[in-house]
Structure 1
Amino acid sequence: MFNGDLTEEQLKTVIQGPGDVEWKYEMRRECQEILPGLLLGPFVASKSLETLRSLNITHIVCIRDQKEAFSVKPRFPDQFMYLVLDVEDNEEQNLIRLFPSAKGFIDTAIANGGRVLVHCNGGISLSPAFVVMFVMQHYGLSWEDALHMVQNRRYCISPNGGFLTQIKEYEAIYRANRAVSSYPTMPRNVSRRKREEDDEEEGDSMSDRDDDRKRPLVEHDHAPSSYSSVVDDPDPYAMES
């Protein structure tokens, strides 16, 4: 679904989210549904098999700092499909390079009727940054609207400054990619035919130029008689001694 699939009023409703939710501090330990089939939360939410089953989760994106690998890890690999991303939670970490694998995993899961939980350790900075980029491209939003959309469902998120900078940069990237993909391309057979026609025209033009070079600058139907006598008659003084 993209921005063009929704009316302006529908898009506004999507960004604002449910207005009847009273956020409580303990809710940060739970996960929230950001868009149909995509949930965001902390690692603790992924540790309860009962909770995951009650939410009908089928896929889990586990995003962690490598230093946390001993504790933040897939707990039920025989129950769910996992994607594990080792990402440093600092402002120098490149998220844009890692995002395509997460997006592909989420897209495939949702397209096949699955439900995906995206989590990091606290669900505050790292995993929310990935989810903001996902909903931004999914709905065709600006980075501000995408951030507000996620915050209106999980109030405690706060991506660090470096992540926010990359979220802003990603808006330009996905919009450019969408513009390129929507630009009509000439079919290959048409392009080949056009090249062949151009080659034929160029060949005809070169042939005409060759004919011009071969053609005499001045053409005569008959040579002048005076010119013929000079060439054919013997020298009148040759017989005199």
Structure 2
Amino acid sequence: MLPMSPSSAMETPRRFFAPAAPYSRRPPSPPAIIIPGPVVYNNEPIKVVPSYKNVDPASLSLDDLQIITQNGKELIAHDSATNWAYENRRTAQPILDYLYLGPASIARDRQWLRDNGITLLVAARDSRMAGLRLMGVDRVAKELGIQAEHIDVSGHHELIRAFPMAVRKINDHMLSVYRSQAVRDDEGARAQGGDMVIDKANFKRGRVLVFCETGNDRSAGIVIAYLMSVMGMSMVQACQFIHFRRFCVSLDEELKQLLKNYEEILAAQRTVHRHEMDTVAHGPAPSFPTPAKKGKRGIEETMRGDGDDDEMTDPFSMDRDRYIGREAFVPFVDTREVTTEY
């Protein structure tokens, strides 16, 4: 009998064992994020009032928020599905009274840009296509005398770093347009210290168009991030609001997970910065003794229900079915036939 080669010896066990269930080598996918339909009756619109308590004070002051939102003007979105037509996807819709979302083709429509008073173009494009100038609108912007910005990312995974930059570009433009129209007061002195005098009869507000190839994914993500950052909406609220405005918006699972992560980042930043500002204004909070930490409970203690936690507050008391009555599972089974010698 010839001896087996080392490679054959290594492969032999694989013939005798098989997986007991299908499995994959990739990491497990996170749970799908379901965006529920808004709770409205009789085709009522979605109404949202901007609140400064939901905004990061380090990124936007109360005065700046009032300038951008016109003193907290109520936001209203009607369900566009009732009168949506396929052709509407080729134009842009106003998500806010100063913020539009649409495809790249509308950014080259000079007449539309003039009619809607657009003062800033924000292109969300693939960085690999930036050199080809497929979505370049600099010539159109220069011709119309408006500003153009580009948010270049190679994929959705880079958007979360681009969100703050895009939000800042839009806010800076809105504030710049407002402050550039400050006029002289009755005494002929220039308004100073943020106490600006605006000629309401001739004032022209800034307006921004955010776009990508289709106006339905990458640029939609930027606008949703803007609604969360500036208007204080949750991720679900922002998705519902933008879908009411532009019915053809389509968010894949990767983009929704990204926006959910960004929502958590905003919440953490808001909490930290408000605590820092309160500390500066009122001094550090009194310290209290830190309770002694208990060791981590093992599975046996968890199953017995031991410990100081009340059964109603014990997180495992509502989850005992996960441990009780569960059948044993063996990941691999032996496929060799068992023979009996007499």
Q: What secondary structure, in the 3-state scheme, does the structure 1 residue paired with 2:160 have?
A: coil
Task: For residue 104 of structure 1, give the secondary structure of its aligned residue in structure 2.
Answer: helix
CA drift of 1:187 comes to: 5.8
Q: How far apart, CA to CA, are the structure 2 residues paired with 1:97 and 1:160?
A: 18
Partner residue of 2:147 out of 71, 74, 81: 81
Of residues 125, 137, 143 in structure 1, which corresponds to 2:217? Answer: 125
**1:53-202 residue pairs with structure 2 within 5 A?**
53-69=114-130, 70=132, 71-74=134-137, 75-78=139-142, 79-88=145-154, 90-91=155-156, 93-111=157-175, 112=178, 113-183=205-275, 184-186=278-280
Conserved 8 A contact 2:79-2:245: no
Q: Which amino acid aligns with 1:84?
A: H
Give the % identical residues.
31
Alpha-carbon distance in 2 for matches of 1:86, 1:5: 31
**Which is helix-richer, 1 or 2?**
1
The residue identity in structure 2 corresponding to 1:24 is A
Distance 1:57 1:5 in 2: 30
Query: How far apart are residue 32 of structure 1 and its match?
Result: 0.6
What one-letter code is carried by the residue in structure 1 that aligns with 2:78?
Answer: P
Greater shift in the superposed pair: 58-67 or 74-83: 74-83
Superposition deviation, residue 48 in structure 1:
0.8
* Counterpart Cα distance in 2 of 1:4 and 1:118: 24
Cα separation, 2, equivalents of 1:14 and 1:132: 14
Aligned to 1:18: 78
Instruction: After the TM superposition, list the runs of 4 or more consecutive aligned residues in structure 1 that deviate by more than 6 angstroms.
Output: none
Structure 2 CA distance for partners of 1:186 and 1:67, relative to 1, 3 Å: closer
Size of the aligned set, in residue pairs, is: 182
Secondary structure at the aligned position of 1:77 is classed as helix
**Is the contact made by 1:14 and 1:149 (CA closer than 8 Å) also made in structure 2?**
no
- Asked if 1 retains the 8 angstrom alpha-carbon contact of 2:167 and 2:229, the reply is no
Name the TM-score, length of structure 1 as normaliser.
Answer: 0.68
Structure number with greater CO (CA < 8 Å, separation at least 6) is: 2
Q: Is the 8 A contact 1:37 1:115 kept in 2?
A: yes
Deviation at 1:85, TM superposition (A): 1.6
Task: Give me the whole-angstrom Cα distance separating, in 2, the residues matched to 1:3 and 1:77.
Answer: 33
TM-score for the superposition, normalised by structure 2: 0.49
Give SS of 1:95's match.
helix
Q: How far 1:110 sits from its partner (Å)? A: 2.2
Equivalent position of 1:2 in the other structure: 50
SS of 2:209's partner is strand
Q: For residue 18 of structure 1, what is the amino acid of its counterpart?
A: H
Offset at residue 4 of structure 1 (A): 5.5
Once residues 110 and 186 of structure 1 are traced to their aligned partners in structure 2, the CA distance between those partners, rounded to angstroms, is 29
Unaligned ranges ≥5, structure 1:
192-241
Q: Counterparts of 1:128 and 1:153 in 2: how far apart (Å)?
A: 11
Q: 1:73 Cα deviation (Å)?
A: 0.9
Contact kept in structure 1, 2:160 and 2:262, CA below 8 Å = yes
- When structure 1 is superposed on structure 2, of 32-41 and 156-165 the one drifting more is 156-165
Unaligned runs of 5+ in 2: 1-48, 55-71, 179-204, 285-342
Indicate if the aligned counterparts of 1:42 and 1:121 stay in contact, CA closer than 8 A. yes
Deviation at 1:5, TM superposition (A): 7.9
Instruction: State the distance in 1 between where 2:228 and 2:281 align.
Output: 31
| Larger Rg belongs to | 1
Distance 2:152 2:52 in 1: 34
CA RMSD of superposed structures (Å): 2.6
Letter matched to residue 50 of structure 1: Q
1:215 alignment counterpart = none
